[in-house]
Amino acid sequence: MKRKGSLRKLEVKDRKMLRKILGPIKENNEFRRRHNNELYYQSEDIITSMRKRRLMFSGHLERMNQERLTHRLHTAISSRKSYSKWSQQVKKDLQEGLISSDDVQNRERFREQVKASNFQPLTTPTLRPASKWSQERKEAHSTKMKTYWQRKKNTTT
């Protein structure tokens, strides 16, 4: 995930799936959709979990025996330009999680620190400016929608 736009799309899909899985809430004999804060209260957002998994995998590669083919491939590929973005992001995540290189070598301590780290989301929610509707505009829109739905109802029956 390189661009903020693609991260936002992923977050939107994540929330949509969580809403489907968790279902609506029944309040006063009416059902309503869950709000974003209710979704994230019950589960971790997908971007944070991806960052934690990336850290766990990079720690696995660092601890790996240097004679293994996987480790040799990792060191060979890590010199490439496209791969350096991944490693730079891992370094940023390690700094943000306050995890040192010594901790990476100790598997148990590293796991605890990664799980305990609370990463800030890479994207911030975009706030839409609230449009100021006058009472006249609200009423005009209401009557317009009522006539629209009445016509639609009459054409289907």
The DSSP line for the chain is --SHHHHHHHHHHHHHHHHHHH--EEETTEEEPPPHHHHHHHS--HHHHHHHHHHHHHHHHHHS-TTSHHHHHHHHHTTSHHHHHHHHHHHHHHHHTT--HHHHHSHHHHHHHHHH--PPPSS-PPPPPPP---HHHHHHHHHHHHHHHHHHHHHH-
65-102 pLDDT per residue, tens:
888 888 888 878 877 776 677 788 888 888 888 888 78
Mean pLDDT over each residue of the chain, to the nearest integer: 80
Better-predicted residue by pLDDT, 144 or 37: 144
pLDDT of residue 143: 94
97-130 pLDDT per residue, tens:
888 878 888 888 888 888 888 777 666 555 556 6
Better-predicted residue by pLDDT, 142 or 96: 142
